[in-house]
């Protein structure tokens, strides 16, 4: 017997690496040293930092992968993978430098996984970071044929004096919400249950979804906020805190950027909830509390700014084609959101 008899095709693995080589190289920054194929990726720190701090993040895409595999569409989940990591790193004020991926499958399908890597490369370009390397594992018997899982790892950099850690946030700061592109990559287990238990087809086109199929709607990739946010910081906009709204929604994620002894009073009527969330609530008979604790409800990222910069900040996001709106104010408290739910 040989390794191929056990279900692992080493030759196919090498061919896959050759196939994605150009995709990886297309993301390289000037600081990348060497190319694809070494035991480790090498990256020289950018110049100009006095006290550079490296900020790292890791995440996956969750059961959104199930939707991609059901629909046999794999070109968007790679963008999600990058987004979930770089948006987290961004909340410290850091610019993402490089990204690595881990991809595991039951049997290597070059066409399928090349689509995944193409999405990762697209996400890296949107975030301005290099796809420095990765790992592809063929694991027969662990994953079914056609199944795969992906995880991502990101490293960013920020000047220590400019790092956001909650200490800059002040009572009276205003929370500016940046719109999401949909459900992003959280709550898909509930989405899949609603679709399954409700007897819906992924090819159906509910009126509330504006002509898109259910499948297309929930494969919309996560918005990457890196370049617009970094542009705002470089333009001199005063940002005291940031939050990436992921699993757990606003209640879990927004308080994470506050200092001790602070809370946020939310005006729940300050933004229009996108129709996709109305469809989920109605199709699954999901309570308002469960919706807000599961989904982003149309808000993918939040920045905290002083009151005198609200209008300027909102205009900046709108110039970047990202709808933005003031949704609340920092108050004295114990890390809670006040007024979000009746």
User: What is the tens place of the pLDDT at every residue in 192-249?
Assistant: 999 999 999 999 999 999 889 999 999 999 999 999 999 999 999 999 999 999 999 9
Are the C-beta atoms of residues 302 and 252 closer than 8 Å to each other?
no
DSSP states along 9-33: -HHHHHHHHHHHHHHHHTT--TTEE
Question: Rounded to the nearest 5 degrees, what angle is found at the Cα of 241, between the Cα atoms of 240 and 247?
Answer: 170
* Residue written as token pair 């308002």: 288
Q: Exposed e or buried b for every residue in 174-192, given b needs 16+ CB within 10 A?
A: bbbbbbbbbbbbbbbebbb
Give per-residue pLDDT as tens, 80-109: 999 999 999 999 999 999 999 999 999 989
Residue 304's region, left for phi above 0, alpha for psi from -120 to 50, else beta, is beta
Q: Are strands 130-138 and 174-179 parallel, antiparallel or unpaired?
A: unpaired
* Structural domains of the chain, ranges and CATH numbers in brackets: 10-162 (3.30.1330.10), 174-338 (3.90.650.10)
> Above 70 in pLDDT, residue 329?
yes
**Does residue 36 surpass a pLDDT of 80?**
no
Q: What are phi and psi of 328, to 5 degrees?
A: 180, -175
- String of DSSP letters for 269-330: TSSPPPHHHHHHHHHHT--HHHHHHHS-TTEEEEEEE-GGGHHHHHHHHHHTT--EEEEEEE
Q: What is the mean pLDDT of residues 264-275?
A: 95
Which residues does 308 contact at the CB level (< 8 Å), separation at least 6? none
Instruction: Give SS3 for 138.
Output: strand
What is the maximum alpha-carbon separation in the chain? 72
Cα separations in angstroms, 93 against 149, 260, 280, 320: 29, 20, 33, 18
Residues in contact with 187: Cβ distance below 8 Å, sequence separation at least 6, in sequence order? 247, 294, 295
**Side-chain half-sphere CA neighbours of 175 within 13 A:** 33
DSSP string, 193-216: HHHHHTT--TT---GGGTT--HHH
pLDDT tier, 186 (very low <50, low <70, confident <90, very high otherwise): very high
- Tens digits of per-residue pLDDT, 250-265? 999 999 999 999 999 9
pTM of the model: 0.95
């Amino acid at each position: 017997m040989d390794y191929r008899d056990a279900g692992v095709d080493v030759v196919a693995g090498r061919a896959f690496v050759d196939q994605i080589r150009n995709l990886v190289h297309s993301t390289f920054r000037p600081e990348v040293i060497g190319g694809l194929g070494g035991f480790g990726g090498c990256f020289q720190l950018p110049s100009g930092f006095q006290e550079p701090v490296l900020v790292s993040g890791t995440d996956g895409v969750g059961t959104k992968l199930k939707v991609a595999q059901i629909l046999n569409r794999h070109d968007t989940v790679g963008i999600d993978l990058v987004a979930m990591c770089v948006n987290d790193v961004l909340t410290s004020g850091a610019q993402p430098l490089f990204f690595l991926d881990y991809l595991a499958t039951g049997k290597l399908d070059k066409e399928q996984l090349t689509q995944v890597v193409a999405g990762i490369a697209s996400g890296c370009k949107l975030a301005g970071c290099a796809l420095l390397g990765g790992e592809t594992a063929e694991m027969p018997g662990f994953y079914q044929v056609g199944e795969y899982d992906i995880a991502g790892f990101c490293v960013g950099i920020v000047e220590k004096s400019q790092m956001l850690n909650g200490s800059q946030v002040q009572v009276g700061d205003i929370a500016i919400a940046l719109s999401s592109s949909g459900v992003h990559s959280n709550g898909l287990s509930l989405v899949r249950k609603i679709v399954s238990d409700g007897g819906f087809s992924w090819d159906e086109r509910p009126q509330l979804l504006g002509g898109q199929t259910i499948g297309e709607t929930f494969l919309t990739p996560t918005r990457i906020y890196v370049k617009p946010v970094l542009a705002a910081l470089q333009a001199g906009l005063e940002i005291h805190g940031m939050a990436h709204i992921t699993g757990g929604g606003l209640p879990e994620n927004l308080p994470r950027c506050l200092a001790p002894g602070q809370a946020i009073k939310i005006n729940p009527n300050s933004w229009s909830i996108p129709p996709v969330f109305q469809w989920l609530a109605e199709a699954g008979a999901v309570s308002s509390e469960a919706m807000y604790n599961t989904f982003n409800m149309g808000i993918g990222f939040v920045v905290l700014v002083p009151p005198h910069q609200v209008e300027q900040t909102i205009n900046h996001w709108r110039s970047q084609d990202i709808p933005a709106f003031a949704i609340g104010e920092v108050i004295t408290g114990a890390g809670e959101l006040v007024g979000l739910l009746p």
